[in-house]
Structure 1
Amino acid sequence: MFSFRNGSRGENINKKTFLIQLYVDGIGVTNPIGPKKDQHKLTVIYFTLEDIPELFRSILQCINLVTICYTKYLNDDTKIKKIYEPIINDLNDLQSTGLIINTFNSQILFTFTNVAGDNLALHELGGFQQSFNSGYICRRCLITYGNRLIPLTDIYFIQRTEAQHQRVLKSLENNPQVKSIFGVSGPSALNDLHNFNSTLSLPADCMHDFFEGVCPLIIMAMLKEASRSRLITFGAIQTRTENFVYGELDGSNKPPSIQVKHLTNERITGTAAQKYCLFRLFPIIFSDIVEHLELFKIYLVLRELLDMILAVPQRKSWIPYMETLSINFQSMMIEMLPEKIITKIHFVTEYTRVIEENGPPVKYWCMRFEGAHLYFKKVAMQSYNFKNIPKTRAKRYQLRQCFLLSKEKFLRTFDEGSGGRMVYMNQIESKIKNLLNRRYGQQVTDSNQALMQYSQLIHNHIIYKQNAVYVYDLAHVEEIPLFFQIIYILKLNHQWLFIVDFLNTESFISKLWSYKVSSSGRLEIISPFDLQFYHKGLDLYEVNHIHVVNLASRLTKEN
């Protein structure tokens, strides 16, 4: 499964259409406290095309602004309808009529897929109750808040359907004195949008459910258990998280240290990416205590499930096993941490159905959309202009997009090196010179020719760093990753070259949830054009005198 087209909802759509995805969220462009904290809160709607090639999907220029308005403006149904009506009309027109480009004498059609967002925004947009600590808490099934404590091994919750949803809306219309029925408070603002379904078109977001929900909760529970068991003190936890040396690639998402006050308040600070980095590297940071933690069993189940959820592509054959993992996770949480059963624990169990319908969750998560928010916050803080914020921000954003889209590098592959210095053949190690000799002949190595050595290369929007580890293939039926480490990045006669050390994948260490690797001593020259992209660069960590590589998701080959 590569995209929405591979899910059950996308199997019957026209393959010649472009897929449009919306994102809705509220942002605060200032950071005040007190009664004025919502004075400048904005609601923004973006759109993106899912058919943009994988290499370019993470570029923020591929995210485009649809609407921006004050959140306080959306306080009644009339104003909400006024905001969404032109969006619905435009999307319906794109799906039915499309765009006609005279230059190519062709018609381009589009298909709406789904709306991404956090749970609160999607419940508000879908017409569901916006409280998650009472009543019917899920927009995909009929679970109640009280029933969240029942293991899924003992119960099955009825899934919402479009027919059932329409009957509820009809009942609400006939009984205006009733505020909600089965958690439905009214029709969605997007009801008139073609291909929109309130029970299907609002998928789960793994950034909010996992990175900002379940993962920090499990980390905190394990640390509190370690402290109760006298394995480590709060002060030692703070010291260890302060002094842990993150790899150069993980360093960009280095989480803040877990201070004593955070442990006391049971709150882990940081961005979603930082919290996930801490969750992913937790077994490495606390390698000496994880085996003694009873709750580490929950971590291992959650980690295996999350690795499969974050994978692109995914296999449909994984879905039954993922469902088993999610049920085991929920049951273990109820048994071992019943007081920590938040609503997002239930949302975790819904991902198998979400994936089956919509494809890989990474294609509709909020991570990159949240990155687009930073521009509005930055402009607001730098300009100190808070008069008609939606208009001024929208105008500046569109002018910026026009400038960025006009640049030559947009949606084009390019090579860009950094940290370069000139070296001569007589300065190069003999074993590297022998490799160049075998590839280019002795006349190149004997000429004392100059070449450039770089610390980083951006090739086809993929970052390659010196000393970083990359997956170059998957071996056997088990799809065991094979790694190499980049020793040098060179440019010779306008050609980019990697001098790499192929690593031996010796074993998978469950305690560290990492692959143990060692150097094979076999150096080779590889061109970046010969590589097939499997995964972003990885850092090499040393734990108890062994070297390990920690993957962020499960990898699989295309059939």
Structure 2
Amino acid sequence: MPKLTSCLLHTIVSTRLCSAVQICQRINTFAYGANDKRNRPPVFKEKDIFDKRIPGKAMEKYCLFINLPFILLDFIGKVPYWFLYELLRQIWDILYSDYPRKSWLSALEQSVQEFLQLFQTIFPEQFIPKFHFLLHAARNTSKYGPLKRQMNLRYEAKHHLLKQIANRCNNFINLPCTVSRRVQLRQCYELMDENTFKSYGISGKFRERRTTSFKKIIQNALHDDHLFTYGEFSQCVKWVLVDNVKYKIGDFFVFYLLGGEEIPLFVEIKYIIRIEKEWRFIVHCYDTVIFKENLWCYEIKPSDVNLVLNKNEFLTHKAEDCYRINNEYFIHVPYRLTLVE
């Protein structure tokens, strides 16, 4: 991903489609969503474009790669070799899928071969031996299951912490002892938090709200929820942690796959309420308009439907960000979704 991102940015500058200063300004000033903001890439410099390098950690590079179509939206149709980005996103959707189907593997193998041949032809100086591992992706998926379970991002994150400690401790005598001691002290400090081992029920501050103060359409949705009887007051929070999944107001989730093509339908959390020690989510439904292949995301539009869901009715358990650009709503799903067979 970083190799392709750096090559595309360098190509944009070399073809004078956009200057290096403007590219850096676009990347540095882009308004990332609430969930993408924690992986926001570091400050991008002109030298990085000319040197064909992407600074930052692995997740920061991934965040830039995923949001690159939104950053280059104004002239994305003119970007040379953009088909390589679409091809790699197609490969990544299958590799990162939770439940890849066997029928996808032949298409995956064909896409990998096509991508490697094109990349080696167009950017031969950037082709490195690590690309060879992609050739075995389809076979390894068939043999070992989803390769997502074998990712080393967690190890990279831990290694990044160790490197930070090593660079800042100014120890030149017994560095391994210092690093291990600092890591143990940090872990002890984190375990002091009383909520560390709680995976359910941690939430923001409770506030009471009259049920009649909700909009009429939401009151009707509450009335249709036959599992509980909603009284005069409801306890509302802005966020809650349920089974190690954080839900907060404004987050988007997939709650249904429509038809044989498995088109995802999205909902936005509007309110989080607690009743009889159970958490209920009042959500606003969005209709999926079309899949934008050049942006590799879905265009959605708000509907007039509001529902009351529980945690088990969400199809995905990772919140996504919705980007509003030119009065249109776009949302990207980082992997291909499918129902468990």
Normalising by structure 2, what TM-score?
0.88
- 2 CA distance for matches of 1:354 and 1:295? 29
1:294 to partner: Cα distance: 2.5
Q: Is the 8 A contact 2:209 2:236 kept in 1?
A: no
Gap change, CA 1:403 and 1:542, over 3 Å in 2: closer
Q: Does residue 1:557 correspond to 2:339, yes or no?
A: yes
Gap change, CA 1:492 and 1:217, over 3 Å in 2: same
Q: Does residue 1:503 correspond to 2:286, yes or no?
A: yes
- 1 CA distance for matches of 2:88 and 2:293? 13
Q: Does residue 1:326 correspond to 2:112, yes or no?
A: yes
Greater Cα offset, 511-520 or 408-417: 408-417
Q: Deviations over 1:385-425 (max 9, x none)?
A: 6664545655776788799899997777412112x351320
- 2 CA distance for matches of 1:322 and 1:441? 44
Q: Deviations over 1:162-214 (max 9, x none)?
A: xxxxxxxxxxxxxxxxxxxxxxxxxxxxxxxxxxxxxxxxxxxxxxxxxxxxx
Partner amino acid for 2:42? P
Q: Is the 8 A contact 2:283 2:306 kept in 1?
A: yes
- 2 CA distance for matches of 1:441 and 1:352? 45
1:253 to partner: Cα distance: 0.6
Greater Cα offset, 467-476 or 491-500: 491-500
| Aligned residue number for residue 213 of structure 2 | 428
Query: How is 1:44-193 mapped onto 2 (pairs within 5 angstroms)?
Result: none
| Aligned residue number for residue 280 of structure 1 | 66
Gap change, CA 1:401 and 1:340, over 3 Å in 2: closer
Gap change, CA 1:494 and 1:439, over 3 Å in 2: same
Partner amino acid for 2:313? L
Which of 294, 314, 323 is 2:100 aligned to?
314
> 1:249 aligns to what SS in structure 2?
coil
Q: Deviations over 1:135-179 (max 9, x none)?
A: xxxxxxxxxxxxxxxxxxxxxxxxxxxxxxxxxxxxxxxxxxxxx
Q: Deviations over 1:23-61 (max 9, x none)?
A: xxxxxxxxxxxxxxxxxxxxxxxxxxxxxxxxxxxxxxx
Q: Does residue 1:348 correspond to 2:134, yes or no?
A: yes
- 1 CA distance for matches of 2:196 and 2:31? 35
| Aligned residue number for residue 190 of structure 1 | none
Q: Is the 8 A contact 1:226 1:289 kept in 2?
A: no
Gap change, CA 1:366 and 1:453, over 3 Å in 2: same
- 1 CA distance for matches of 2:168 and 2:124? 46
1:314 to partner: Cα distance: 1.4
Gap change, CA 1:513 and 1:375, over 3 Å in 2: closer
| Aligned residue number for residue 144 of structure 2 | 358
- 2 CA distance for matches of 1:442 and 1:414? 20
Gap change, CA 1:344 and 1:249, over 3 Å in 2: same
| Aligned residue number for residue 545 of structure 1 | 327
Gap change, CA 1:441 and 1:351, over 3 Å in 2: closer
Gap change, CA 1:382 and 1:295, over 3 Å in 2: closer
Unaligned 5+ residue runs, structure 1? 1-214
Q: Does residue 1:470 correspond to 2:269, yes or no?
A: no
1:384 to partner: Cα distance: 6.1
Q: Does residue 1:261 correspond to 2:47, yes or no?
A: yes
> 1:525 aligns to what SS in structure 2?
strand
| Aligned residue number for residue 30 of structure 2 | 244
Q: Is the 8 A contact 1:515 1:548 kept in 2?
A: yes
Partner amino acid for 1:545? N
- 1 CA distance for matches of 2:142 and 2:229? 58
Gap change, CA 1:535 and 1:460, over 3 Å in 2: closer
- 2 CA distance for matches of 1:547 and 1:270? 28
Normalising by structure 1, what TM-score?
0.55
- 2 CA distance for matches of 1:295 and 1:415? 48
Gap change, CA 1:411 and 1:355, over 3 Å in 2: farther
- 1 CA distance for matches of 2:120 and 2:297? 28
- 2 CA distance for matches of 1:356 and 1:327? 17
> 1:368 aligns to what SS in structure 2?
helix
1:258 to partner: Cα distance: 2.5
- 2 CA distance for matches of 1:392 and 1:220? 37
Partner amino acid for 2:321? D
1:353 to partner: Cα distance: 2.5
Q: Deviations over 1:484-512 (max 9, x none)?
A: 11111122343322110111111101011
Gap change, CA 1:315 and 1:246, over 3 Å in 2: same
Of Structure 1 and Structure 2, the greater helix share is in 2
> 2:335 aligns to what SS in structure 1?
coil
| Aligned residue number for residue 305 of structure 2 | 522
- 2 CA distance for matches of 1:409 and 1:459? 12
> 2:117 aligns to what SS in structure 1?
helix
Q: Is the 8 A contact 2:195 2:202 kept in 1?
A: no
- 2 CA distance for matches of 1:374 and 1:427? 51
Percent identical pairs in the alignment equals 29
> 1:350 aligns to what SS in structure 2?
helix
Q: How many residues align?
A: 340
Partner amino acid for 1:355? T
- 1 CA distance for matches of 2:163 and 2:10? 35
Q: Deviations over 1:509-542 (max 9, x none)?
A: 10110011111111111122x3254241100012
- 1 CA distance for matches of 2:273 and 2:74? 40
Gap change, CA 1:494 and 1:382, over 3 Å in 2: farther
Gap change, CA 1:354 and 1:411, over 3 Å in 2: farther
Q: Deviations over 1:81-116 (max 9, x none)?
A: xxxxxxxxxxxxxxxxxxxxxxxxxxxxxxxxxxxx
- 1 CA distance for matches of 2:317 and 2:272? 19
1:440 to partner: Cα distance: 7.1
Structure 1 vs Structure 2 CA RMSD: 3.0
Q: Is the 8 A contact 2:269 2:282 kept in 1?
A: yes
| Aligned residue number for residue 454 of structure 1 | 237
